Chain A
Amino acid sequence: MSVIKKNAPGTSELLMGNEAIARGALEAGVQFAAAYPGNPSSEIIGTLAQVAREMEIYVEWSVNEKVAIEAAASASFSGLRAISAMKQNGVNVASDFILNLNLSGVGSGGLVLVAADDPAALSSTNEEDSRFIAKLGDLPLLEPATFQEAKDMTKWAFELSESINSLVIIRSVSRISHARGNVVLGELPQEKRTARYDTSKIFIPVAAPLRHLALHLKQGKVRERYESSLFNWYVGPDNPELLMITSGSGWFYSLEAVNTLNLKDRVGILKIGTTWPLPSKLLAKHMAKVKRVLFVEEVDPFLENNVKELAAEWSPEVGSWTFYGKSSGHVHPFGEINPDLIINAVSKVMDKPYSPREKGYGQKATEMTKALVPNRDLGFCAGCPHRATFWAIKSALKLDGRGGFVTGDIGCYSLGLGPAGFFQLKTMHAMGSGAGLATGFGQLHKFGFDQPVLSVCGDSTFYHAAIPALINGVYNKSNFVMVVLDNSATAMTGFQPHAGTGETATGSPAAIVDIDKLCSALGIRVETCDPFDLRDTTERILDLINDKGGVRVLISRRKCALVKAKEEKAAYKVYVDPEKCLGESCGCARLCTRIFKCPGLIWNKEKGKSQMDEAICTGCGLCADICPESAIIREEN
């Protein structure tokens, strides 16, 4: 299925933006790739992992983003081309290394970091704009606007990196990374480099002010190359009434707006692919011809503010402009942009009315459907072990009655914040933050705090960032229970293997870093349970939160239902016995469909009874344990 390794220059293939980036890296002769998965970046390294053996490259899922970029840098220091990819939050994790690597410089092998941002936080805790790290670290930044460019830019980024011995950052967004489009393939190089560390070289940021100066000089060189870059282009009339300046996903939306409003002869679009440092001469040339400028970009006004900064310098000679964009309110000041927003922005600036469809129809369609369409809340999948663990936690905390609560972090189990997890999760920030917070809560007894604290983290998150917090808790004698929701998968991002799964990114067998043994080595109480044994899990949690002080760990272990469904047949045939289900008159208040809420269970309104949806039920049989009338029957398959 993978067309990524196809050596057929000139053929057009449908590639996901992330696949295009991976292909670009292969065309550049990349030999080392390391990342921690995170949407929307995961498929870059995932794609490379699929072809690693055949292409003779090394690909790993690293334990976290900081380690990933460090590992990739080692390859660069040894002369190989290397790539790392991460989501915007991951860039923060890696930032300490990045902001020293800028000063030390990279080796003779090009090093490229792809930062994939998630505008509107469709699959994230925040919608941070990671372009700022390029400015902060004086690092060259590239932003692809098309799928073709995602490939071509990645390939070129390695050349740029080697020409100035600097890390190069490519900033993508969901609508590039996770969208698909045509990409014409280039050649795959045959040549392989040999890795060797030249011991006459040192990579250190020492003498930082001097190195900072050198970094600024590099920026000057990059700017010169950017002035004539083919990743910047202009379409439109020679003297437009309005100049749109855009980057990344904004390019297609700008084009759509100009075409939709039929303004090709009046509005020009300057698309910038090299967004830091900005090609100032190119910008000055285009801006000298106009008096009105509209900025179109995703999340923060990065391009907008940096161009305005340049414009302030030019204005004594060139005059002034009216700027439209995030600051003027014509474009959303944050979040995701889309064609409608940009069409409306241009319509407003150019005073050209726009209506997406015939007014009568639009109103009718909206009204008729609005009345009928119910909301669709996100929830745990049918058969998900997290539902069971949160159920047990809820029961235990209720039985305990001291106002206990749960701190957590990022993963499928973040849904524990809402109805799916019975509103148990009270905090969610960075990877491992639930554990970090718990170590602090666990010290507050000196100030009258007497509530039990449970932190939850997934297995992949445990390795990523929870271990330091756990050690902190042990060392400082904190008082909390850590629940590791071990579903043997990095489920949220696409089931990538990790240190606990016994498999590497490229499918080779790997040592299993045993969470149980690792925790036991700290000399603390560690227990393991199967969350589907609801009674046992609830009792263990109760016992653990009543244990005297210190850090305690419960590993709630059961494989992700989606992974399980791919690997094995359903354990049970599950159905509701209509004779036994008493429905509304039972007194259970419809525990199964109203509270437990597995999507496999539905409420048959006409019959007034619960019912199984056989197209959704995964046959885990858990619901049989919660029905007080034993009306849910599970038969072994």
Chain B
Amino acid sequence: MTLSKDPLNLIITGVGGQGNVLASQLIGRALVRENFYVTIGETYGASQRGGAVMSHLRISRQSQHSPLIPEGQADIVVALEPVEALRVIGQYGNPSVSAVVNSRPIYPTAVTVGDAEYPSFEKIQETIRDLAKKAWFVDATEIALALGSPIFTNIIMVGALVGTDLLPLSQRAFEEIIKESSPGAQLSDNLKAFRRGLEKTQGI
């Protein structure tokens, strides 16, 4: 499979604890299996305690790139939380960026306390559509809760990303990696979550 651009720059963003690292790792491993060079830079440590987190993925056929994407150079943004999509597009977006966004907010304490406003989902959608070339919105947390736990949100969003065909990665290649990485009992749940995400964007 070929890349639409080299390096292809993907940012997965969300709030600490949502499973950014696992999502980026699964995508990275699947791509390395397809003989790509992949570099991932991520947020670790303190920011995982409720902070805004990002994983930068650089995908290339030719060489290894730096683990950080320069400003304005993101090709794809996957957001596990809606305002985090805005935060990342504001800094890394450009007119040809694509966005895959979970619709469910995680309210920052500043909002809960009343020191800050959280924008309406309509406003977030409108802004992302204005700034991105194409955007998909997925009710990933709701799907995850219906599957039994919010921890599936990241796998559902990875499924949604694979469904968009923005990555040079087939459903099968990805499912192989899920099979290798999931301990027995979790495998069927993870595959189900992945497929539920996939069907939300496939062909749309």
Bound-complex Cα distance A376 to B90 (A): 16
Which listed residue, A1, A252, A594, A613, touches B66 by the CB 8 Å rule? A252
Residue of A nearest to B72 (CB): A357
Which one of B44, B49, B141 contacts A379 once the chains associate, using CB atoms below 8 Å?
Answer: B49
The answer to whether A369 and B90 touch (CB under 8 A), given A419-B109, A593-B113, is yes
Smallest CB separation, B149 vs chain A (Å): 9
Secondary structure at the B interface, as helix, strand, loop or mixed, is mixed
> Are B49 and A415 within 8 A (Cβ)?
yes
> Does chain B have a CB within 8 A of A253?
yes
Residue of A nearest to B124 (CB): A372
CA distance A256 to B47 in the complex (A): 26
Query: What residues of chain B lie closer than 8 Å to A255, measured between beta carbons?
Result: 66
Residue A12 is within 8 A (CB to CB) of chain B in the complex: yes
Contact segment of A94-102, A178-186, A201-209, A301-309: A178-186
Chain A residues with Cβ under 8 A from B180's Cβ?
Answer: 1
- List A contacts of B117 (CB < 8 A): 374
- CB-contacts of B83-122 with A (<8 A): 83, 86-87, 89-91, 93-95, 104, 106-114, 116-119
Given the interface pairs A369-B90, A372-B119, A593-B113, the reply to whether A339 lies near B46 with Cβ below 8 Å is no
Interface residues of B in 25-44 (CB under 8 A from A): 25, 28-29, 31-32, 35, 37-44
A430 beta carbon closer than 8 Å to chain B:
no
Q: Are B90 and A122 in contact, with the CB atoms below 8 A?
A: no
Report whether A377 and B123 are in contact in the complex, using a CB–CB cutoff of 8 Å. no
When distances are taken between beta carbons in the complex, the residues of chain B under 8 Å from A412 are: 49
Which B residues are CB-close (under 8 A) to A420? 109
**Chain A residues engaging chain B, CB cutoff 8 angstroms:** 1, 12-14, 39-40, 118, 122-124, 146-148, 174-175, 178-182, 249, 252-253, 255-256, 260, 338-340, 343, 356-358, 361-362, 364-366, 368-370, 372-381, 412, 415, 419-420, 492-493, 590, 593-594, 597, 599, 601-603, 613-616
A378-B44 in contact (CB<8A):
no
Contact B65 A365 (CB under 8 A): no
Q: Check A339 against B70 for contact (C-beta < 8 Å).
A: yes
Residues of B within 8 A of A (CB): 15-17, 24-25, 28-29, 31-32, 35, 37-47, 49-52, 64-73, 83, 86-87, 89-91, 93-95, 104, 106-114, 116-119, 123-124, 127, 130-131, 141, 144-145, 150, 153, 180-181
B residues less than 8 Å from A148 (CB atoms): 64
With known contacts A356-B70, A381-B17, A180–B39 Cβ distance under 8 A: yes
Residues of A within 8 A of B118 (CB): 374
Contact partners of B51 in chain A: CB under 8 A: 376-378
Q: 23 A-B pairs, CB-CB below 8 angstroms?
A: A14-B32, A14-B40, A39-B45, A174-B44, A179-B42, A180-B25, A180-B42, A182-B32, A182-B37, A253-B66, A338-B68, A338-B70, A340-B71, A356-B70, A356-B71, A366-B90, A366-B91, A369-B86, A375-B116, A377-B51, A594-B114, A615-B106, A615-B141
A339:B112 contact, CB within 8 angstroms? no
CB-nearest residue of chain A relative to B16? A378
Q: Are A365 and B50 in contact (CB under 8 A)?
A: no
Check A256 against B70 for contact (C-beta < 8 Å).
yes
Is there an interface contact between A256 and B50, defined as CB atoms closer than 8 Å?
no
Taking a contact as CB atoms under 8 Å apart, the answer to whether A375 and B110 are in contact is yes
Q: Which 4 A-B pairs have the closest CB atoms?
A: A123-B45, A369-B90, A357-B72, A252-B66
Contacts A369-B86, A614-B145; is A252 near B38 (CB within 8 Å)? no
